[in-house]
Structure 1
Amino acid sequence: MSEHVIGEKSEVLFHFSIKLEDGSAADSTKVHNKPAKLFMGDGSLTENFEKCLLGLKAGESKSFDLEPEDAFGQPNPDNIYYVERSKFGPDAPAEVGSIIAFTQPDGTELPGLVREVAGDSVTIDFNHPLAGQKVTFEVDILEVNG
């Protein structure tokens, strides 16, 4: 086992769990036993999240609390859309709480949460489901390279 310490350019293989303020688990890589891989400094995580990982070594575990700004950000009102109810069908009904994948112009799919159905208008929220929430990350560092 190498004694590499996580630095600003490390490649890190780790398991993580995300817990909400009420203690419920929102996500965990352990469910399917598929650890996450991260290249430090690639912009996929916030600066404060990365700072929490700096200095950890393979085999170490850590738990840290993140404010919404350091986790998934605050909800952005520009990510709320109103769609005509006629655009929904039996395979993707407009029901509050449903998550429906919408195909973007570039072909990628973006999940949206149905927030409200009023008459012929359906409110879809494309913000990350954890936006605006304080979360606790628990990480188990498996491997550190570089």
Structure 2
Amino acid sequence: MNAEKDKVVTFHYTLTDAEGEVLDNSHDRKTPLSVLLGHGNIIPGLEKALEGRAAGDTFKVTVEPDEAYGSRNEDATQRVPKKYFQNAAKLKAGDTTVLSLKSGGHQIVTIVKVGMTAVDVDLNHPLAGETLTFAVEVTDVRDASAEELEHRHAHGAGGHQH
């Protein structure tokens, strides 16, 4: 079976930056990543590279910023009251954390400066502006369940956890 829209693709990956430094590696977690293709659950460049692949395929793909996390926007900073952060007292410049948004979503931010009552954050994704290379090993491709299609993402063994 080949990977395409509405198929669940399971794969191991090693992610490196333009200098070859390993940024992330699914092998360290022992469990591969499973994604429902065609629903925007991973960056576009990697999703496109998975299309047409089958279990057992291995490949490398380099993804430019416009197909990954976009270009950096140097003006994308914001001052946020400390009360919106968990463990605000422990935050320091350079840390990354997740902010809950009023819309119900979440955003990864990088701490720029911690003040007495507010925190300055960089709203760019930490990998914005980066050219990324993925070494991928596809371990499985399967039809998505009706529930996965309804929820628009893959579920792990035993169903969903949300």
Scaled by the length of structure 1, what TM-score is found? 0.77
Distance 2:86 2:47 in 1: 42
| Equivalent residue, structure 2, for 1:23 | 20
Give the % identical residues: 27
Cα RMSD, aligned residues only:
3.0
- Aligned-residue offset at 1:96: 1.5
| Equivalent residue, structure 2, for 1:5 | 2
- Paired residues in the alignment total 143
| Equivalent residue, structure 1, for 2:152 | none
Name the structure where strand makes up a greater proportion of residues.
1
Q: Secondary structure at the match of 2:24?
A: strand
Q: Is the CA contact (8 Å cut-off) linking 2:69 and 2:129 kept in structure 1?
A: yes
| Equivalent residue, structure 2, for 1:45 | 42
Letter of the 2:78 partner, please give it: Y
Encode CA deviations 1:69-119: one digit per residue, 9 max, x unaligned.
111222346742123579889853452112344343366654421124589
In structure 1, list runs of 5 or more residues that go unmatched.
none
In structure 2, list runs of 5 or more residues that go unmatched.
144-162
Q: Secondary structure at the match of 2:59?
A: strand
Out of 136, 139, 145, which is 2:136 matched to? 139
| Equivalent residue, structure 1, for 2:64 | 67
Name the structure where helix makes up a greater proportion of residues.
2
Scaled by the length of structure 2, what TM-score is found? 0.71
- Superposition misfits of 4+ residues, deviation over 6 angstroms: 85-90, 118-121
